[in-house]
Amino acid sequence: MKIFYGVQGTGNGHISRARVMAKAFAKRDDIQVDFLFSGRDPDNYFDMQVFGDYQTRQGLSFATKNGKISKLSTLKTFKPVQFIKDIRQLDLSSYDLVLNDFEPISAWAAKRQGIPSIAISHQAAFLKPIPQDGSTFYSQLLLKHFAPCEVQLGVHYYHFGHDIMPPFIENELTTSSINKEILVYLPFESLDEIGALLESLEGYQFHCFHPELKEDYDESHIHWRKTSKEGFHQKLETCGGAIANGGFELSSECLKLGKKLLIKPLHGQFEQYSNIVSLQKMGLCHSMPNLDKTQVETWLAQSKPEAIDFPGDPSVLIDWIAKKDWHNTKEICQQLWQQVRFPDVVNEKLGIKNPHTI
């Protein structure tokens, strides 16, 4: 079986999810997978060895400025002629299936060529009537048509009674923690503003990863680090909590590791607002609309939550893909939720007796 896997490269969360899938695919001798990434400059990808000889395209991405989505900058970076050309030139005729994590070129090429396609993405979850905040006609239109696929397999913290999968979080992560060490990942905020937020909080050690940093250095209790998968996950495993934007993958990792979570959403990104709504319904995060030292201090004094046991091995999903019964999404979602274990306090918050039943 030959699979073409398109991945949105703008955020590291999409790549992290694809990385877990790529490791599982690599153990199979009955499936060949080729990867395409778009939405990021080719030189800015890192730790990509698991994807083999992957392809890149410019694609579509959202530009940000000062912690907000910049519609004007987004329009300036979009090259529609090249985008359409890339769709037309991507030949998928030798593939049995296209898997897609919110990547528009491969999704539209599959649609144009009549190749079966399955969306495995967090964005696909919002096509179901789950808790949302800030959704507009424009955002729903974007979800439906940005990377259209025949079958939608959304990924979310909880299924809310719909055909949605839990996230896959690698099992090699450990759950040790040093409460006075805090991971900070605010890639859409400026370095100066992050520094001003943390400089007076001297009782803690803040490890700040940021894509603008070209080298590592320390300023007293603030440790500035350039982005790297290995360094980031080492600190994620040992930290007492994380201050981050509202991206799905990092927050899911924090839930599995039992880390407390403070979210500052990217303004104009309804997905991140909606993530906060779901997490707060489950009693699993605090949020601040802007960088606010008082709210950080309040959050630092909070105790950490119990961990959620999300699955780490997508083999069951890959078996389902290989069976080719792709429109029977309820079966695979049900199987995967059977592997999840929520703390009692989360079950009580959700008001459910059996969280495994869709």
pLDDT at site 66: 65
Q: Tell me if the domain spanning 2-168+311-350 has CATH number 3.40.50.
A: yes
Residue 176 CB-density burial (10 A; 0-12 exposed, 13-18 middle, 19+ buried): exposed
User: Looking at the DSSP assignment, which residues form a beta bridge with residue 2?
Assistant: 32
Q: Report d(CA 15, CA 11) in Å as an integer.
A: 7
Q: What is the pLDDT of residues 133-179, one digit of tens each?
A: 978 888 888 899 999 999 999 999 999 999 999 999 986 556 567 88
Rounded to a whole number, what is the distance in angstroms from the first to the last CA of the chain?
Answer: 30
Residue 53 predicted with pLDDT over 80: yes
Domain ranges in the chain are 2-168+311-350, 178-300
Half-sphere exposure of residue 148, counting CA atoms within 13 Å on the CB side?
Answer: 14
pLDDT at site 331: 92
Query: Taking residues 322-341, what's their average pLDDT?
Result: 94
CATH number of the domain at 178-300, out of 3.40.50.1820, 3.40.50.1000, 3.90.1010.10, 3.40.50.2000? 3.40.50.2000
Residue 127 predicted with pLDDT over 80: yes
Q: What is the pLDDT of residues 79-120, one digit of tens each?
A: 889 999 999 999 999 999 999 999 999 999 999 999 999 999
The more confident residue out of 234 and 36 is: 36
Residue 297 predicted with pLDDT over 60: yes
Strands 239-244 and 178-185 come out as parallel
pLDDT at site 214: 92
